[in-house]
Amino acid sequence: MDFTGKTFWITGAASGMGKALCAELARFNVRLIISDRDKEGLEKTVKTIESSGSTVRIEVLDMADTPSIMKTANKVINDGEKIAGLYQFAGISQRSLVVETPIDNDRKIMEINFFGVVALTKAILPHMIENGGGQLVATSSLVGKFGFPYRSAYASSKHALFGFFESLMAENKKNNIKVSLLIPGRVQTNISKFALKKDGSEHGKIDPGQAKGISAEKAARIIYKGLKKEKKEIWVGGSEMLMLHIRRFFPAIYYYMASRLKAM
Ligand X SMILES: NC(=O)c1ccc[n+]([C@@H]2O[C@H](COP(=O)([O-])OP(=O)(O)OC[C@H]3O[C@@H](n4cnc5c(N)ncnc54)[C@H](OP(=O)(O)O)[C@@H]3O)[C@@H](O)[C@H]2O)c1
Active site residues: 154
Of the listed pieces 8-16, 129-137, 171-179, 247-255, which binds ligand X according to CB under 6 A? 8-16
CB 232 within 8 A of CB 180: yes
Say if CB 186 and CB 212 are below 8 A apart.
yes
> Helix, strand, coil shares of the chain as percentages rounded to 5?
50, 20, 30
CB of 1 to ligand X, least distance (A): 20
Phi/psi at 201 (5° precision): -85, 170
Choice between 173 and 245, CB closer to ligand X = 245
29 vs 68 by CB, closer to ligand X: 68
Name the minimum Å distance from CB 38 to ligand X: 4
Q: Which residues contact 263 (CB under 8 A, 6 or more apart)?
A: 95, 149, 150
Query: Cα 120 to the chain's mean position, in Å?
Result: 12
Does residue 63 interact with ligand X by CB under 6 A? yes
With left for phi above 0 and alpha for psi between -120 and 50, is residue 155 left, alpha or beta? Answer: alpha
- Out of 22, 32, 64, 123, name the contact with ligand X by CB under 6 A: 64
Number of chain positions touching ligand X (CB under 6 A): 31
Give the footprint of ligand X on residues 78-137 (CB under 6 A): 89-93, 112
184 is a site residue for ligand X (CB under 6 A): yes
CB 247 within 8 A of CB 159: no
Span of 51-59, 186-194, 224-232, 255-263 interacting with ligand X by CB under 6 A: 186-194
* Site residues for ligand X per CB under 6 A: 12, 14-18, 36-38, 41, 61-64, 89-93, 112, 139, 141, 184, 186-187, 189-191, 194, 210, 213
